[in-house]
A and B are shown apart, each in its own frame.
Chain A
Amino acid sequence: QVQLQESGPGLVKPSETLSLTCTVSGGSVSSGSYYWSWIRQPPGKGLEWIGYIDYRGSTNYNPSLKSRVTISVDTSKNQFSLKLSSVTAADTAVYYCARVHLGGDYLGAFDIWGQGTMVTVSS
Chain B
Amino acid sequence: DIVMTQSPDSLAVSLGERATINCKSSQSVLYRSNNKNYLAWYQQKPGQPPKVLIYWASTRESGVPDRFSGSGSGTDFTLTISSLQAEDVAVYYCQQYYSTPITFGQGTRLEIK
Q: Residues of A with Cβ closer than 8 Å to B?
A: 46-49, 60, 62-64, 96, 98, 100-101, 103, 106-111, 113-116
Chain A to chain B contacts (Cβ below 8 Å), 7 pairs: A47-B93, A64-B101, A100-B97, A110-B40, A111-B52, A113-B50, A115-B48
Interface size on B, residues (CB 8 A): 26
Minimum Cβ distance to chain A for residue B43 (Å): 11
Residues of B within 8 A of A49 (CB): 101-104
Residues of B within 8 A of A115 (CB): 48-49
Q: Which residue of A lies closest to B55 (CB)?
A: A109
* Contact residue among A46, A64, A98, A107 (Cβ-Cβ distance under 8 Å from B106): A46
Does B78 have its Cβ within 8 Å of any Cβ on chain A?
Answer: no
Minimum Cβ distance to chain A for residue B101 (Å): 4
Residues of B within 8 A of A116 (CB): 49
Residues of A within 8 A of B106 (CB): 46
Measured in the bound complex, the distance between the Cα atoms of B98 and A46 in whole Å is: 19
Q: Which residue of B lies closest to A115 (CB)?
A: B49
Does B51 have its Cβ within 8 Å of any Cβ on chain A?
Answer: yes
Minimum Cβ distance to chain A for residue B55 (Å): 4
Q: Are A109 and B52 in touch, CB under 8 angstroms?
A: yes
Q: Are B95 and A109 in touch, CB under 8 angstroms?
A: yes
* Contact residue among B48, B52, B98 (Cβ-Cβ distance under 8 Å from A110): B52
